[in-house]
Amino acid sequence: MPLDFGGNRHGSDMGPSAIRLAGLKEELLELDHNTVEFLQPISISRQEAENPGDPKARYLPQIKDACEKLACSVEQVVREGNFPIVLGGDHSIVLGTLAGLTAAYRDQTKKPKIGVLYVDAHGDFNTCETSPSGNIHGMCMAASCGYGISELTNLYYEGVKIDPKNVCYVGLRDIDPKEKILMKEAGVTGYTMSDIDREGFSKILNKVLVFFKTHADIVHVSFDMDVIDPMFAPGVGIPLPGGLNYREALLLMEEMAKTKLVKSVEIVEVNPVLDVRNQTAKMAVELLARLLGKKIWL
């Protein structure tokens, strides 16, 4: 999903190619996932050829169109009984992933309760009224939970995609003032880097695992590479010091794999323009491998 209309820094549209070149398919095949298939990239117009439009919701028509294409693809993959891995792109793509994922289960007699593990330095829970930038990658989770303009909240199909009470954040460290209020009102669960510093990563991780065992039948993992400290992942759209370290990020994926609840994943904000020897893309591959069963020991 080579979309980079959602933020100010461009280059994340090359993220999917960087992740593939870092050996994703080979890594997954080594894990005995014998039917690994790369679909054609979602067709998206070039950012430099488009007008940003409304400053409160920049590039809205382009993002909406791209995310509806993604939603259709994700829905088809899930209905066929497969596990979608979505490669971004900026984090606005979660709008399409969650719309497609939830659409695939809408007509089931017993709908599964879907939880979202949102691993990100940012809340992405602004609306057009609260956002200081008008960048939609900072509104995508709010919209998926039903907050914001109808073009986003009703993307692909009308209605709320995810109950915010089933959303758990890990790694937060940069949240806008009004965004904090909205997240609190919505009832999301969030663990900040300060929580990790105070309690230790293992205690926070245990709380996350308990959360999903009690709040979800299936889990979608949305992983923004900027949650990791730039020392380990320099090639991201918004690098912020003080993030997760290499082992903490891998351990989170390893433990989520053990729950057997994870049925889809996206990894976003790999920006090769800002990367060093493709190390951020290589780490993205390692994270995906751990989530899909790679172990240090038998």
In a 3-state reduction of DSSP, which class is residue 47?
Answer: helix
Alpha-carbon dihedral 254, 235, 57, 50, rounded to 10 degrees: -130
DSSP letter string, 75-143: HHHHHTT---EEE-SSGGGHHHHHHHHHHHHTT-SSPPPEEEEEE-SB-----TTT-SS--GGGTHHHH
The gap between the terminal CA atoms of the chain, to the nearest Å, is: 34
Most distant CA pair in the chain, distance: 53
What residue ranges in the chain does DSSP mark as E strands? 85-87, 114-119, 167-172, 189-192, 218-224, 262-268
Sign for the CA dihedral angle at 70, 72, 73, 77 comes to positive
In a 3-state reduction of DSSP, which class is residue 222?
Answer: strand
The rounded distance, in Å, linking the Cα atoms of 10 and 26 is: 28
Strands 114-119 and 218-224: parallel
The rounded distance, in Å, linking the Cα atoms of 228 and 119 is: 9
Nearest-10 crossing angle of helices 94-105, 60-79: 40
The rounded distance, in Å, linking the Cα atoms of 82 and 101 is: 11
The rounded distance, in Å, linking the Cα atoms of 6 and 139 is: 9
Task: Give catalytic residue positions.
Answer: 91, 120, 122, 124, 137, 224, 226, 269
